[in-house]
Structure 1
């Protein structure tokens, strides 16, 4: 749908409908206006974006410059949208979906969604096997897996029954369920749940990151309003910065390296002192693809530090080890971010460790002073 030589959708639609492409002067002016809004000058080759198959209508792009096309052929509407995900989603929501809903008037169905962290799809399905077999006629369940998350969607014609079934399923899955939502409600990512728990306690959080390179902080700041609870973070990728910014003892790093539970603990301690945050989560490990310090890719340590659960003057510390069996560097880093957020959620909620999180209890005594 764009201006380059490989953008052939316009020509393909015209050939399919056996009609010529026509230059829409009004659309050309709108496209030129979009470029001016972006502080740019429209190039000559961009004029082709105003070419529309005869009889088709253009769809306005609210997020970019390339318009979409709506063409009716043999009574069937055909929609061509730009490929940039942000632009495609906006155009589909504003232009395509309303027409489809008017045309097809889908049967009203209620849906409740369980959001589950760091538990595999097959494990969740096994827990719900008997429950699923007992679903009433007309009710269904769908499992949608993403890295570190599973969504369980319960759908049926009666909202009250759907909600009841979903809550029963949540009890069977256990404490890895972090949100239960109606389909119409805005989705709640794990980071938003963590921030919500912090908001309830009126607590703040900061991050100290090594292998994740700011990924935990990004996940938190992706949530609108995160500044109410997230103070900031320190990305200390090198051993020297771990010592300089987080006061991780250089002697400790020389002795055990940087991929070590004691280093994760020291990073959290240093970040809490540096930022004054109530809570800190720290990440250190091997992202891969090769080994580092003799440790395999996916070897990760996380530390969470915060106020004592009894409200006393002390602090609570939780250090866990992960073995993320992924060969891809990006997957290791993204998995670590999700595990870090889940460890914070579980600590705030006074829950046990998640699947794959092995608690480390033996730390060097010097760091506890």
Structure 2
């Protein structure tokens, strides 16, 4: 397991590269050009700025999250081919600086949904929260305003310049079914995976967050059967999945450890985090400690260890603790604690393995 840490860039993150370097076992950053509109090719000069910064702190930049997929590709519009060609150019540029994994998603309109960014937990910390009843009643534009309330820190997946056209986007998706979305994903992958393989970069799709339809929009990367279908669309080791235990874990029927064991050789990147799911369908993000949520983090890490996982992993979202002022879900302290919890499980499994072989 190769530990990495998401970083939003200089001037766009409360966490510094110096701080990231001091977290035990972290070897690289997970980054992106967050100011680049979806569909545009990433320029080499901006990519090289990240390379210079990461190398100055002894960190690699082998994992990118996300190279956003333009909505025209998801919708299957004739203009998609131009955006796919730009995506291929970005893959080539990223390969030139040593990138090995691109995490992306195929969620229509919204990358992720939460109704509250700083919901208080019993211990006084706060965390990202999803209230099922509120989603059923709220105007999507209200969420856009709430999530972008702090203009100093961009929220990936909720870029104002993209969501300003929210009404027309919803109209465009009005007659798009799950099967239409599957067809458009297959078209994208058939074009992209050969380019990814030629540049030795693995494409790793992120599951839908949460893993069910929202606002009438189709969602397809939601469960074990659908991940199985995804991997067969283009049956190539460069077509993989970013297995996110938090996204998939929001649905109690999902067996995350079972997915790890089945798809181990197609998981180049893992997001490992916990959520607590309530009977009414609400969920809140918790510490990584297994007993704090409803996701079996210990069992998931064991599944990775048993599978000989050598891919990249990050702690994903964390709570906001010790009065830290930070981007929602992306403070320093709780994610660093999460890393040490994951390493504690991993090191224990390593020791048991060594002792069993004596």
Structure with the larger RCO, 1 or 2 (CA within 8 Å, 6+ apart): 2
Calculate the TM-score normalised by the size of structure 2.
0.27
Larger strand fraction of residues: 1
Give the structure with higher Rg (CA): 1
